Structure 1
Amino acid sequence: MYNLVVLASRPPEWSHEQFIAWWRGEHAGVTLALPGLRRWRHMAVDRALEPRSEGWDGLSVLSFDTAEDLDLALASPEWKAAIAHVGPMRGRRIAVMGPEAELFTA
């Protein structure tokens, strides 16, 4: 799998619960249309391990078969729609991409 990982914080005027509900609901409805999307996992952050890690609300991992499949998704009208849906939201975001390596399964 080749993943797009997004770590995000809510806009200052939104509650954590409101942001997670929007991300998993309304925004998911737009994002699920991405071509080539094979898996999407989302985690709502409910606590930080250390003070420097505080201030984030959620993490999404969008998985594709290959880097090329992700590139096609990022060039698609569906991606443009997902970005437009976020609009001028004033939260913070870190977005990174890379290949997945499973290190352990119980």
Structure 2
Amino acid sequence: MYNLVLLAARPPEWTHERFIAWWRGDHAELTRLLPGLRAWRHTDIDTALETRSEGWDGLSVLSFDSPEDLRKALASPEWERAVAQVGNMKGRRIAVMGREAELFTG
């Protein structure tokens, strides 16, 4: 799999609960329509392990078969609509892409 990983923090005027509900609700309705999307996992961050990791609300991993499939999704009208919905929310995010390697399955 080739993944788009997004770590996000809510807009300052939103509660954590409101942000997660929006991300898993209204925003998910648009995002799940991305062409080539094979899987989408989301983590509601409730605790930071260390002080330098504080301030984040959620993590999404969107999986595609290949880098080319992800690039097609990022060039799609569906992506454009999802980004437009985010608008100028004033939250923070880190967005990275890379190849997944399964290291353990229990």
Q: How high is the TM-score relative to the length of structure 2?
A: 0.99
**Partner residue of 1:5?**
5
Q: Which runs of 4+ in 1 moved over 3 A?
A: none
Distance apart, 1:47 and its partner CA: 0.2
Displacement, 1:12? Answer: 0.4
Extract unaligned runs of 5+ from structure 1: none
Q: Which residue of 2 aligns with 1:22?
A: 22
CA distance in 1, matches of 2:90, 2:44: 18
- In structure 2, runs of 5+ residues without a counterpart are none
Partner secondary structure for residue 102 of structure 2 = coil
2:60 alignment counterpart: 60
Task: Look up the equivalent residue of 1:78 and give its one-letter code.
Answer: E
Give percent identity, aligned residues only.
75
Count of residue correspondences: 106
Q: Structure 1 length normalisation: TM-score?
A: 0.99
Deviation, 1:20, is 0.1
Offset from partner CA, 1:32-75 (integer Å, 9 cap, x none):
11000000000000000000000000000000000000000000
CA RMSD of aligned residues (A): 0.3
How big is each residue's C-alpha offset from its partner over 1:54-105, in whole Å with a ceiling of 9 and x where there is no partner?
Answer: 0000000000000000000000011100100100110000000000000011
1:46 and 2:40 are equivalent in the alignment: no
CA distance in 1 between partners of 2:100 and 2:88 (Å): 31
Any idea what SS the aligned residue of 2:82 has? helix
